[in-house]
Amino acid sequence: MSELFNLPFRGAGDIDFEKYSDGLVPAIIQDASTNKVLMLGFMNEDALNKTIELQKVTFFSRSKNRLWTKGEESGNYLLLKEIKVDCDNDTLLLKVDPVGPVCHTGADTCWAEKNTNENFLQKLEQIISDRKNNPSGTSYTSSLFAKGINKMAQKVGEEAVELVIEAMSPPSGDRGNELFKDEAADLLFHYLILLQAKGFTLNDIIAVLKSRH
């Protein structure tokens, strides 16, 4: 799981769980797409190891006096994307993909804030992720995930060909422009689905482009 971690964090051994008398360290939960802070919990070493094992954020609940995987009853899991540790090795930052509202009140965050993103593509990625993690029988996106990676890759190829055909078609005024934009939108949509299926987001691809710049 080393790809989840920002060096020098290598695992639970890097965290100073003995700094506090109860053996717990704060764990700040942040949306990986919007960067909105969602909640604060506490982890001991077992909770951190369980989080890494399940890829779902697991805390030590002081009220329940046991490990508690967020969403174990509601289904509103926090899917792990990245872990960071602070400069004192005593506080964790976990970047996640939230499945549903985070707060027990039904709010997006524990501060009753909306977890929105002005970037529509990132919002669309969240919707695609939800269709992947919470399949619906009436959802076209969920049906693609159910058919598997080969079908998703095939759809990207089909949409790419259709976009090329529209791009090479003789000019036909506004109608031609609309058809080209429609095909471009279809390709982008299916491309985002394929990225999700492979475990990536648009930000991962942007990072590659930035590294080439």
Is the pLDDT at 208 greater than 60? The verdict is: yes
* Burial status of residue 117 (CB atoms within 10 A of its CB: 0-12, 13-18, 19 or more): middle
Name the segment(s) of the chain with CATH classification 1.10.287.1080: 120-212
Angle between the N-to-C axes of helices 149-168 and 140-147, in degrees from 0 to 180, rounded to the nearest 10: 120
**Burial status of residue 15 (CB atoms within 10 A of its CB: 0-12, 13-18, 19 or more):** buried
The sheet that has 78-85: what strands, in order across it? 37-43, 25-31, 92-98, 78-85
- Give per-residue pLDDT as tens, 108-119: 999 999 887 667
Output the pLDDT for position 21.
76
pLDDT score of 10 more than 60: no
DSSP element (H, E) containing 28: strand 25-31
Question: According to CATH, where is 3.10.20.810 located in the chain?
Answer: 2-98
Mean pLDDT of 188-213: 94
Q: What is the pTM of this model?
A: 0.56
Task: Please tell me the distance from the alpha carbon of residue 84 to that of residue 107, in angstroms, as a whole number.
Answer: 25
Place of tokens 């077992």: 46
Q: What average pLDDT does the segment 77-105 reach?
A: 93
Taking the C-alpha atoms of residue 79 and residue 75, their distance in angstroms, rounded to an integer, is: 11
Q: Which CATH class is domain 2-98?
A: alpha beta
Q: Report the pLDDT value the prediction gives residue 2, as an integer from 0 to 100.
A: 39
Distance CA 25, CA 31 (A): 19
The CATH classification number of 120-212 equals 1.10.287.1080
What pLDDT band is residue 6 in, cutting at 50, 70 and 90? very low
Mean pLDDT score, 45-59: 96
